[in-house]
Amino acid sequence: MTAGIPPLTRGIIAWSILLAVVAGGTVALLAIAIARTPVEHTASIVVVPHPDDEFQTWSLVEDTPDEYKIFVSLTRGDETGFCEPDIRETSLQADLGERAPDPDPPGRWTPECMEARQNSLLGYLTQMSESDPTIPGDFGAMTEYTDLPAEGVEICHDDDGVRDCDASLRTARVWKDAAGRGAVVFFDLGDGDLTQDEAAWALQTLIANRDTWGLDPARVGAMIGAFANEGHSCYSYPHPDHVAVHQVLWNVDFGVGPQVGATCFLDPRQRMSAFVSPESAAAAFALGPNGERLGAHGRNYGWLHDDAFPLAGIRQNDLFMSFQSFWVRFN
């Protein structure tokens, strides 16, 4: 049907259709589907490659009192240049309310960098839980599970040209919400070098150990992956760790319910779209009159951006967006 129409025109046509569909029906159909589902307490597993990607799934996560939410970060985000002191000197805007990384990282790939990024995620969820009480946000001590069985998968880091496949990388750190709303689980699969096999190992390990780790064993209602986009005309995000999350949720059937990946509306695989509520969008991204980071994302993750994180709307032209689209597998 679109043969002979130049790509730019096709894009404009597609966006026009999107606007019509959004006005008319996709979201309404989704709401009907949800409304018809009998209320059952389930668990959701939110899969992010890095600690700061959670908002990419937020339209499916917010205001869900019947869902126990497990936020899984597959890496510790330790490759970020913002852990280098000279870069952070210009990126951290503490005067605007951005929280300084804690502890103070002396560089990339350091334990302090990992810990600071973990703490940013815990801080983000804690602040988001203040306005949305269905979000886990009351975290106590961390429990670390080490020497997890390899199950034939080699877990490696490839940092600065140095390859490390030590058994100590087969670890999971678990924080539980004191109010029973969910948990945070950190694996250590290597920021920048995540593979589909490593991600599959981590998610299978999590599913197999929910009981042992003291997590709610409720039926998993959905596994929801963070955003990636290779080639469709939304925000371009071919980051290999994000692509690995898409690959694992698309290719590997974990047998626990639908597997969902955040994508561009124009991705032909797209099956479901929804808006983040204005309340949650503000809770994460609101700025004060002088650019003060009032929202949880800006406040806790602001040190990972030179300026303020932008929030895209219906055009989906930034990494974080209030209008979110997803493909669905193994439904």
- Applying CB under 5 A, the residues found at the interface with Zn ion are 49-50, 53
Shortest Å, Cβ 48 to Zn ion: 7
Identity of the residue, 49 or 298, whose beta carbon is nearer to Zn ion in the bound complex: 49
Shortest Å, Cβ 23 to Zn ion: 31
* Tokens at 123, concatenated: 């801080």
Identity of the residue, 183 or 228, whose beta carbon is nearer to Zn ion in the bound complex: 228
Identity of the residue, 215 or 321, whose beta carbon is nearer to Zn ion in the bound complex: 321
Shortest Å, Cβ 51 to Zn ion: 8
Shortest Å, Cβ 174 to Zn ion: 21
Amino acid of residue 181: R
Identity of the residue, 139 or 237, whose beta carbon is nearer to Zn ion in the bound complex: 237
Shortest Å, Cβ 78 to Zn ion: 12
171 closest CA partner among 185, 160, 192, 152: 185
Measure the CA–CA gap between 302 and 128, rounded to whole angstroms: 15
Measure the CA–CA gap between 11 and 8, rounded to whole angstroms: 5
Identity of the residue, 50 or 76, whose beta carbon is nearer to Zn ion in the bound complex: 50
Query: How many Cβ atoms are within 10 Å of 154's Cβ, its own excluded?
Result: 12
Phi, psi of 62 (to 5 degrees): -65, 155
Q: Is the separation of the CB atoms in 108 and 84 below 8 Å?
A: yes
* Tokens at 55, concatenated: 């908002």
Tell me how far CA of residue 16 lies from CA of 8, 9, 11, 122, 324, in angstroms: 12, 11, 9, 39, 17
Shortest Å, Cβ 53 to Zn ion: 4
Tokens 């140095």 belong to residue: 162
97 closest CA partner among 308, 283, 279, 320: 308
Identity of the residue, 49 or 295, whose beta carbon is nearer to Zn ion in the bound complex: 49
